[in-house]
Amino acid sequence: MAVCTISTYNAIKDLKVFLFSLDLFNDPKPKVYLLCDTKTAAEAKALYSGELVILTKLDSYGDLDREKMATRAGINYRTLWDDFMMEKAAVIELALSNEKSAYFCDSDICFLGPLPYVPANKTLAVSRHMIKDEMEQKFGIYNAGFLWTSDASVPNKWRQAAKTSRYHDQTALEDVVNAYVKSEIYEFPMQNNFGWWRMYYTNTHPAILQKGWTIYINEPYKTAGIMVNDAALLSIHTHFSEDVDWKCTYIFNKFFMEFLSRAAKNPKAKILHAFIVSEFYKARAPV
């Protein structure tokens, strides 16, 4: 079992939560492949107790954020941001040169339980956005930050599809999925990779969706003890650094952190809450 991700130092706090939470909820520890810049590599080694394979090939992206990358011409794609996003294919390719299969997860994923199960007869597992039709048309059916594959041809399929994608690396995944027969594809349940979009970009009012969130006691604490629609929440996808109170990410983060604090009888939930606060909220209002 292997997990791969990409990160630059601009997202080092996200990466810290990613590795900390992956470590906290998985035993045995999956092997992690990290494609990053030199500055990130210097800190990453101390962030994970399992095997961590680090490749420093992202220095050209430096400390640039998405806004700056999006305004600069790319080398292989239209913008530098598109080039950066398709480094996902590079790290998957690296992992599959050594492993039978691998998960790719964006480094702003926070795990709340073990890595999800994928049936043995599947070739590619993807995560639907589960958003309203007009949003799906723009941003894509699938989220490009959470997938699994056992097929070494997926990286090149993704690269080729991204050249004509209507929305960066994301809508390109639709072409990748369409390259397989339906029986080879698995879709992760909604309790994985749960992003703010599943709460605010749907046809259902957020207040109704939030009623599906509950706390449960689950010794021996294999998860953080949060349930969504009667199943354990295993991971969320968010930007904890968001501090603009009218943005969906900020509102979602407040809702999630309140739930995580309510699960404090669960020792792992308590540890995770404290870690996120220490990285993102210690100089801000308490959550």
Give all domains of the chain, ordered by start, each with its CATH number. Answer: 2-189 (3.90.550.10), 197-281 (no CATH)
Which pLDDT belongs to residue 232?
A: 97
Q: Residues 100-114: what's their mean pLDDT?
A: 98
Whether the CA torsion 276, 282, 283, 285 is positive or negative: it is positive
Which pLDDT belongs to residue 214?
A: 97
Q: Residues 43-67: what's their mean pLDDT?
A: 91
How does residue 282 score in pLDDT terms, banded at 50, 70 and 90? confident
Does pLDDT of 32 surpass 80?
A: yes
Which pLDDT belongs to residue 102?
A: 98
Percentage of residues in the chain with pLDDT exceeding 90?
85
Q: State how far the Cα of 174 lies from the Cα of 104, in Å rounded to an integer.
A: 16
Q: State how far the Cα of 94 lies from the Cα of 97, in Å rounded to an integer.
A: 5
Closest by CA to 147, choosing from 91, 202, 199, is 91
How does residue 243 score in pLDDT terms, banded at 50, 70 and 90? confident
Q: How far is CA 73 from the centre of its chain?
A: 26
Region of poorest pLDDT, from 3-17, 59-73, 198-212: 59-73
> Are residues 33 and 94 in contact, defined by beta-carbon separation less than 8 angstroms?
yes
Does pLDDT of 287 surpass 80?
A: no
How does residue 14 score in pLDDT terms, banded at 50, 70 and 90? very high
Residues 6+ apart with CB under 8 A from 205: none
Does pLDDT of 286 surpass 60?
A: no
CA distances in angstroms from 4 to 87, 95, 105, 121, 147, listed in the order given: 11, 7, 6, 21, 10
pTM for this model (two decimals): 0.95
Mean of pLDDT over the chain: 94
Which pLDDT belongs to residue 87?
A: 97
The pairing of beta strand 226-228 with beta strand 213-215: antiparallel
Q: Residues 162-190: what's their mean pLDDT?
A: 95
Residues 6+ apart with CB under 8 A from 207: none
Q: Residues 55-78: what's their mean pLDDT?
A: 90
Which pLDDT belongs to residue 283?
A: 66
Does pLDDT of 245 surpass 90?
A: no
Mean pLDDT highest for which of 68-77, 126-135, 238-247? 126-135
Q: Pick 71 or 22 by higher pLDDT.
A: 22
How does residue 167 score in pLDDT terms, banded at 50, 70 and 90? confident
Which pLDDT belongs to residue 123?
A: 98
Does pLDDT of 280 surpass 60?
A: yes
**Residue 185: φ, ψ to 5°:** -100, 135
How does residue 285 score in pLDDT terms, banded at 50, 70 and 90? low
How does residue 65 score in pLDDT terms, banded at 50, 70 and 90? confident
